[in-house]
Structure 1
């Protein structure tokens, strides 16, 4: 398996994007962690390699290249996650105690039904919907076990 650095370089190359160290650092973290990350988590995990202002600029660049997706948690915290060829449309479960975010995929029948409802809403509300997400809230197993 290629190193994190090489995987990150390959992603940037696939989009004809300039390779900068901050871009590589963010991509490496997202590949290594394999989960959605908040800005604070990225800054902490980067161990001083990124300034916050640089991180926001890099996020904008990587989003524009189509390499990452960003979304906002119910607490209004920005979260980023890696897009990949293997990534499928998915949704999230948010733990209301610790703030963890888990990716979930709906079965195809439910996803198709949801897309059908979105199409109806689009028609009846005269709006062009570009995407949808289903957010589930609860308490993760770790928090449940801690009581």
Structure 2
């Protein structure tokens, strides 16, 4: 016997029936899956995409519009920092639950720790401004399969 919401239980059971997290979730295999990617210093990375296999009608599941699923249950983009200065950061990172909405939108607040090295120019110190470029990409998908798009995170 379970103490959880029977509608949520049924919804998860129905969504995961036949779901294969090893397969990129696109409607047409020739189209890229758009992954929106936002990054701010000292902040969790926001990664957003649509998994067309995870859509449902809330009316059939007691009005449930949002689910939280364990990070290892569904497909996730394998994003890495190309100019990474510390490879061990990938193995030490934690993952939170993924937030899935009724229309298949998935939000992943990834808790990766990235370390990158940049050259600095102190010619006009202390009035200089530095620019450090971080190059992110998918490890196993090309741009025709997973298209990374910038998500601007508003300043607080």
TM-score by length of 2: 0.25
Greater helix content: 1
Larger radius of gyration: 2
TM-score by length of 1: 0.26
